[in-house]
Structure 1
Amino acid sequence: MTAPTPASSGGGAGRPGAGAGAGAGERPERIVVVGASLAGLRAAQALREAGHQGPLTLIGAENHPPYDRPPLSKELLQGKITPAALALEDTAPLGLDEHYGRRAVHLDTAARLVHLDDGTTHPYDGLIIATGATPRAWPGPLPTTGVHTLRTLDDAHALKADLDPATPRHLLIAGGGFIGCEIASVARELGHTVTLVTPEPLPLQAAIGPEAAAFLTALHRDAGVEILTHHTVTAVAGTDRPTHVTVNGPDGTRTLPADTVLLALGAVPRTDWLTGSGLRIDQGLVTDEYARVLDGAGRPQPRITAAGDVTRFPHPHADDLVNLGHWSNAAEQARAAAHNLLHSQDPVAYRPVASFWSTQYGVRLRAVGLTRQADRTEVRELDPERRRLDVAYYRRGRLIGALTANRAARITAYQAQLAEDIGGGVLALV
């Protein structure tokens, strides 16, 4: 991508305050936050806590004010909580100019304008990008109903209606990641027949390694989930609702019955609206270790920071940029993005100890660090009968992560060790 010369561009990415450009050392007066989920709200809160009193605009593509997403695949589908319980903190005390149901469609970095899908524009002196991710698109035709993705509250409402326990379904899940596995667990608990199809040797193996994946796979199979590994879904048949799906595997192509389908094929950072902005896009919006967005030449843009699922950034425990689609990263990176937008001449590095959790069949999974980056695992406890697990993850002999099942108390020590190793951890910036 050829980068234009926006007003905020500058040279010298090698030092924290570099790339400032004219006036970049001044605190921005008008700040726009694009993305109204957890990262966007936490960024807005951090800006106010840090003393920003100027205009602060929050833009969200959904019609809903900020809400919590993790319960969408768990408690909400189970009927244990209501949609109202998902609401995050009230935005009224923040004094925001709020625009919900409006999607950003273009960013003009030279004029410092955010263009929305209703034709309006929002000028900024400082910008935080927190547009998150969107489900990976299905490439072929689909029935008009009965096929779902899960990313938003509206998605969850539609899926919940199809998984009503009063109407038994045969749910086929395409994809064996956390969303697919969590919904398989919920659907079985609600009494539905479940088939899970994954191209991996085991569900979640790429994310958590073979031992933990085998532990989880046993939970699902014990609960009656049919799991097809080394298979991919190639077609979903049906006009009004699904009737069956076609899968391809080592033994060729076959069809499987299904009247409800969940496409859990992963998520793609929402960067489409940044095309032509001159910012660096590489499987996500690229930032430096200070949460500052880079331009096409690799120069940090002190007027623009980013947080959450949209970002890829350097991490001491990885050779390449990482994308952490976790709740904790969205919250913590947002605080770093807000701090460094206000303190462009004295930014603080963002070196997180990633953490995530999942509950499946009543088993509480907790993980910290970059488990996906490991080249070796060490099983410290494996007790299938009591459904307990403790796995440490290493890269070149260095501890980079840990995962436990029903051993949450052990995570604290792992987290402290990882934070000490990288000189980072949870940020409490103001």
Structure 2
Amino acid sequence: MRTVTVVGASLSGLYAARELRAQGFDGRLVVVGDEPHHPYDRPPLSKDFLTGRADEARLALADAEETAELDAEWLLGVRARGLDSRGRTVLLHDGRTVSTDGVVIATGASARRLPGDGLVGVHTLRTLDDARALRTELSRGPRSVVVIGGGFIGAETASSCAGLGHEVTVVEAAPLPLVPQLGPEMAAVCAALHRRGGAGLVTGIGVAGLRGSGTVTGVELSDGRVLPADVVIVGIGAVPNTGWLAGSTLALHDGVLCDDGCVTALPQVVAVGDVARVGGARAEHWTSATEQPRVAVRNLLAGRTVESARSLPYFWSDQYGARIQFAGRRHAADTVRITEGALDDGAPAEGGFLALYERGGRTTAVLSIDRPRPFMKARRELARSEDPVERAGAVAS
């Protein structure tokens, strides 16, 4: 290969560029990004950046020296609009084309939106520009904030808003936040964090629409209630950015379909990160975005799948001063057992706890709140003991 194009100046895109150089590719390296920014770290956007504890300089994933060492052509602030049927040409929105021998798709995902979210005061939190706009809004004094969606982004943003002194209500359509990831028993514990952190929590009810003319004034629930709101934050998940691949020969279904090695239907095209559906699963987590590129690049340079990307799923979240860590593959039939620490009125007691998910005498996953050292030990043991057949057949939460 003489030219490799990474489409997506994201976390996974940067890691792919690093891997290409580390694995010996010394040809032309092109990185295309729809944002005008060089790759930056997204997890702090809902936490330290939003609260003002971190500035934009701390978000950068690579300094000027490393960027220069990569010797890449950075085409930033321009979207990809197509990939030819053979995967040899990337078409850009400004009319340019990039002829290439290999492609790494790392276009990530975009925040889902609600009808009517064009009102002033309605925000999503996915990009640096999103975070800038929301931080500016929150700096104007005390606000009534409604967060729609109790997933990780919603919970972290609610936590930051509450910490800044705003009145916060979280609306979650499911009976409890984070049920798909943690199961009902441990999801109830995380729900208690909202209450302990001073945020209101409305569960088991959907949103009918947004109120306001020009500027948002409230959120109407499906039961007719209206929650007053100066600021609304929509955190209802993300959609993989695959629209630019319509008309290509790649298989698309909630992401770019890949085999276990991140390789698509075209051996010269691989996909990584939030946009990639690897071996039947799409994982929107930092660890997947950083671990997949090594395997994907190796397979890309080999021209076929020679290695699989089957790492143990892992994610973390910081909410209301608590660090939540989870690793493994939880199943609905699993039982949960707290092995260290305890609960206090349904919330983590001081010092947190460690819980194991078990089935048939085997540990399938581990959850920790504020017990990082025991968690890392349990995570390592879980990775060593994982059944290859179970791992291949399970879908990460």
Q: TM-score, normalised by structure 2?
A: 0.91
Aligned counterpart, 1:355: 314
Measure how far apart 1:257 and its partner are: 0.7
Q: Which amino acid aligns with 2:248?
A: S
CA spacing shift, 1:95–1:30, aligned 2, 3 Å = same
Counterpart of 2:57 (choices 79, 84, 88) is 84
1:376 aligns with 2:341: no
Q: Return the alpha-carbon distance in structure 1 between the equivalents of residues 305 and 285 of structure 2.
A: 27
Counterpart of 1:256 (choices 196, 214, 227) is 227
1:227 aligns with 2:201: yes
CA spacing shift, 1:151–1:111, aligned 2, 3 Å = closer
Unaligned runs of at least 5 residues, structure 1: 1-27, 295-300, 315-320, 425-430
Secondary structure of the corresponding residue to residue 243 of structure 1: strand
Matches within 5 A, 1:13-412: 28-90=1-63, 91-110=67-86, 112-138=88-114, 140-164=115-139, 167-248=141-222, 252-294=223-265, 301-314=266-279, 321-345=280-304, 347-371=306-330, 373-380=331-338, 381=340, 382-383=342-343, 384-386=348-350, 388-394=352-358, 398-412=362-376
Q: Return the alpha-carbon distance in structure 1 between the equivalents of residues 215 and 329 of structure 2.
A: 39
Secondary structure of the corresponding residue to residue 264 of structure 2: strand
Q: Return the alpha-carbon distance in structure 2 between the equivalents of residues 183 and 365 of structure 1.
A: 15
Cα-to-partner distance string for 1:198-223 (whole Å, 9 max, x where unaligned): 01111111211122211111121122
Q: Return the alpha-carbon distance in structure 2 between the equivalents of residues 234 and 39 of structure 1.
A: 36
Q: Is the 8 A contact 1:200 1:206 kept in 2?
A: no
Cα-to-partner distance string for 1:74-118 (whole Å, 9 max, x where unaligned): 000111110111001131111001100111111113261111110
Measure how far apart 1:387 and its partner are: 5.2
CA spacing shift, 1:254–1:360, aligned 2, 3 Å = same
Q: Return the alpha-carbon distance in structure 2 between the equivalents of residues 128 and 111 of structure 1.
A: 10
Q: Is the 8 A contact 1:33 1:130 kept in 2?
A: yes
Q: Which amino acid aligns with 1:305?
A: V
Aligned counterpart, 1:297: none
Measure how far apart 1:137 and its partner are: 2.5
Q: Return the alpha-carbon distance in structure 1 between the equivalents of residues 163 and 305 of structure 2.
A: 51
CA spacing shift, 1:351–1:223, aligned 2, 3 Å = same
Q: Which amino acid aligns with 1:200?
A: A
Q: Which amino acid aligns with 1:33?
A: V
Aligned counterpart, 2:395: none
After TM superposition, the runs of 4+ consecutive aligned structure 1 residues lying more than 6 A away are: none
Aligned-residue CA RMSD in angstroms?
1.7
Q: Return the alpha-carbon distance in structure 2 between the equivalents of residues 312 and 349 of structure 1.
A: 13
Q: Is the 8 A contact 2:81 2:93 kept in 1?
A: yes
Counterpart of 2:379 (choices 401, 409, 415) is 415
Q: Which amino acid aligns with 1:235?
A: G
Measure how far apart 1:422 and its partner are: 4.9
CA spacing shift, 1:290–1:128, aligned 2, 3 Å = same
Secondary structure of the corresponding residue to residue 351 of structure 1: coil
CA spacing shift, 1:370–1:163, aligned 2, 3 Å = farther
Q: Return the alpha-carbon distance in structure 1 between the equivalents of residues 361 and 221 of structure 2.
A: 39
Measure how far apart 1:355 and its partner are: 1.5
Q: Is the 8 A contact 1:393 1:400 kept in 2?
A: yes
CA spacing shift, 1:397–1:117, aligned 2, 3 Å = farther
Q: Is the 8 A contact 1:374 1:395 kept in 2?
A: no
Measure how far apart 1:397 and its partner are: 5.9
Q: Is the 8 A contact 1:142 1:238 kept in 2?
A: no
Q: Is the 8 A contact 1:209 1:377 kept in 2?
A: no
Secondary structure of the corresponding residue to residue 302 of structure 1: coil
Measure how far apart 1:143 and its partner are: 4.8
The percentage of counterpart residues that share the same residue type is 42
CA spacing shift, 1:284–1:111, aligned 2, 3 Å = closer
Q: Return the alpha-carbon distance in structure 1 between the equivalents of residues 364 and 89 of structure 2.
A: 40
Q: Is the 8 A contact 2:88 2:101 kept in 1?
A: yes
Cα-to-partner distance string for 1:137-167 (whole Å, 9 max, x where unaligned): 22x2235311000110000001111122x51
